[in-house]
Amino acid sequence: MAKRNEFLPYGQQSISDDDIAAVLETLQSPFLTTGPKIKEFENAVANYVGVNYAVAFSNGTAALHGACFAAGIEKGDEVITTPITFAASANCVRYMDGTVVFADIDKKTYNIDPLEIQKKITSNTKAIIPVDFTGQPVDMDEIMTIAQQHSLVVIEDAAHALGADYKDRKVGATAHMTMFSFHPVKPITTAEGGMIVTNDKTYYDKLLSFRSHGITHTPYSEEQGAWYYEMIELGYNYRMTDIQAALGLSQMAKLDKFIEKRRELANLYTMELKENQLVHPPMQNKNALSGWHLYSIQLDLDKLGKTRRMVFDEMRASNIGVHVHYIPVYWHPYYEKLGYKKGICPIAENWYEHALTLPLFPKMTAKDIKDVVQYFKKE
Ligand SMILES: *Cc1c(COP(=O)(O)O)cnc(C)c1O
C-alpha cells in the first residue's frame, strides 16, 4: 500500500481566524474567567439544542461528575451504562461511590441495548448513562420510557453527538441531563471543556453550585454584609474560562457546517465500502441522523486473513491514523480489581475484537478517504 506523505490522524479540530480573533478579544477583556462569555456560550448551546438551561464545565468528565452529583448518586446506588465508551462514562459513577452496571450493546447500532438495560435493573438502580457512540443517537424515547417506569434519572453522554438529530429533536433535548464534550476531536472544541444541558431547574441549581465549590452568594441573613457567602455542599472548582467559552461560542456558529462535512465524508466511506467483503461499514438508525464523530467499521478477520493488530499496524505504517474505540470499560485493570469479569457483555466484547476507527474530521478531503479505503481494495 502506498504510504501517504503526511500522517492522517483519526480526528482533528478545525480552528480558523475568527476563532483566534475571538480568543484574543477575550484575552484583552476584563474577564479571563467567570465573565460574560460563559453565559453567552451556555445560552448558545441551550438554544441550539432546545433546552432551558446549560452549565459549562472545565471538561466533559467534570460535567458528568456534576450530573451524577445532581442526580444524587451515592454509595449503594447502581448506575447502568455501556461498556463501549470512554472510561469517563463509568468513572463519574465511581466519583460518587456508586456501583457501575454494564449492559450489553445492540449488534446493529453498537449502542446500549434497551432490552439489556431492563435486564440489569434492580431495586438499587438509580440512573442510566446511555452513550451516543460515534455520534449515532441512542433510542432515547425507549430509554426514557424504561426510566419512567422505574423512576430513574437519565444522563445522556453525548460527548460524540452535539449537532446530531434524534427524531424531530436535537440530541440533548430528551434526557434529564445531557453532557457534551469540547475536547479537540469532538464536534466543536474549547481545547478542554464540557457542558450539561437540562430542562430541570433543580438540576441546574445543583450543577451551578457543584461547579464552584458548593458556594452560594445568596445572603444568609440581613445582618451579613455584601462580602458574605456560604459553602453549602462539597463542590469543586470545575469552572470553564472565558477564553475557552469565547472559542466555544465562535465554534458553535460553525457546528452545522462541521456536521454537514462529517456526514458527506461518512457517506463517501460508506459508498466506497458497502460492497466490500472485508469490512462492515456502520449502519444508521432510521429515526436519527448521526453527528459522525467516529467512523467505526467491523473487520471480517477471516476474509482479511489477518489479525486486527496486523491491519492496524499496516495502516499506521502507511500514515493512516486508524484507532480503536473502545476497549470494553470493565476490561481495564481498575474495574477488574473491583471484581468485574470478562464475559459480562459478550456482544460488546466480540464487537471490540473486530472494531477499527477510520479517520474522520471536517477538514478531510475526498482524496484522504480514497487513501484510507485503498487498504481494503488491494486484495
Ligand atoms: C470525550 C469523552 C468523554 C469525556 O470528555 P472530556 O471532555 O475529555 O473529559 C466522556 N465520554 C465520552 C464517550 C467521550 O468520548
Domain spans in the chain, listed from the N-terminal domain onward: 17-254, 256-377
Contact between residue 82 and residue 112 where contact means Cβ atoms under 8 Å apart: yes
Which string of b and e fits 2-29 if b means at least 16 CB within 10 Å?
Answer: eebeeebebbbbbbeeebeebbeebeee
Q: What pLDDT band is residue 216 in, cutting at 50, 70 and 90?
A: confident
Residue 325: is its pLDDT beyond 90? Answer: yes
Q: What pLDDT band is residue 118 in, cutting at 50, 70 and 90?
A: very high
Pairing label, strands 153-157, 125-129: parallel
Place of cell 438540576: 203
For the segment 290-315, the average pLDDT, to the nearest whole number, is: 98
Protein fold of 17-254: Aspartate Aminotransferase; domain 2 (3.40.640)
Cell matching residue 207: 450543577
Q: How far is the CA of 185 from the centre of ligand 1 (A)?
A: 10
DSSP string, 193-242: -EEEEES-HHHHHHHHHHHBTTEE-S-SSTTS-TT--EE-S---B-PPBH
Residue 179: is its pLDDT beyond 70? Answer: yes
Contact between residue 171 and residue 161 where contact means Cβ atoms under 8 Å apart: yes
State which ligand 1 atom lies nearest to the alpha carbon of 131: 13
For the segment 74-92, the average pLDDT, to the nearest whole number, is: 98
Active site residue 186: yes
Task: Report CA 86 to chain centroid distance, whole Å.
Answer: 8
pLDDT score recorded for residue 97 = 98
% of the chain residues with pLDDT over 70: 98
Question: Distance between CA atoms of 337 and 335, rounded to whole angstroms?
Answer: 5
State which ligand 1 atom lies nearest to the alpha carbon of 63: 9
* Average predicted confidence (pLDDT) for the chain: 96
Q: What pLDDT band is residue 219 in, cutting at 50, 70 and 90?
A: low
Q: Which of 64, 84, 157, 294 is the pocket-test mutation for ligand 1 (most atoms within 8 Å of CB)?
A: 157
Q: Is the pTM here over 0.85, yes or no?
A: yes
State which ligand 1 atom lies nearest to the alpha carbon of 293: 15
Q: How far is the CA of 53 from the centre of ligand 1 (A)?
A: 20
State which ligand 1 atom lies nearest to the alpha carbon of 60: 7
Give the contacts of 221 (CB within 8 A, at least 6 positions apart): none
Of residues 309 and 219, which shows the higher confidence score? 309
Question: Distance between CA atoms of 33 and 268, rounded to whole angstroms?
Answer: 42
Q: How far is the CA of 144 from the centre of ligand 1 (A)?
A: 22
pLDDT score recorded for residue 254 = 98
Q: What pLDDT band is residue 220 in, cutting at 50, 70 and 90?
A: low
* Chain segment 17-48, per-residue pLDDT in tens: 999 999 999 999 999 999 999 999 999 999 99
Does the CB atom of residue 293 touch ligand 1 within 6 A? no
* Chain segment 330-362, per-residue pLDDT in tens: 999 999 999 999 999 999 999 999 999 999 999
Residue 315: HSE in the Cβ half-sphere, 13 Å Cα cutoff: 27
Question: Distance between CA atoms of 189 and 215, rounded to whole angstroms?
Answer: 28
CATH code of the domain occupying 256-377: 3.90.1150.10
Cell matching residue 23: 480568543
Residues found in the chain: 379
> 166 - beta bridge partners?
169, 288
Q: How far is the CA of 326 from the centre of ligand 1 (A)?
A: 12
Question: Which one of 37, 126, 170, 186 is the catalytic residue?
Answer: 186
> 349 - beta bridge partners?
none
Sheet holding 279-280, edge to edge: 279-280, 295-299, 355-358
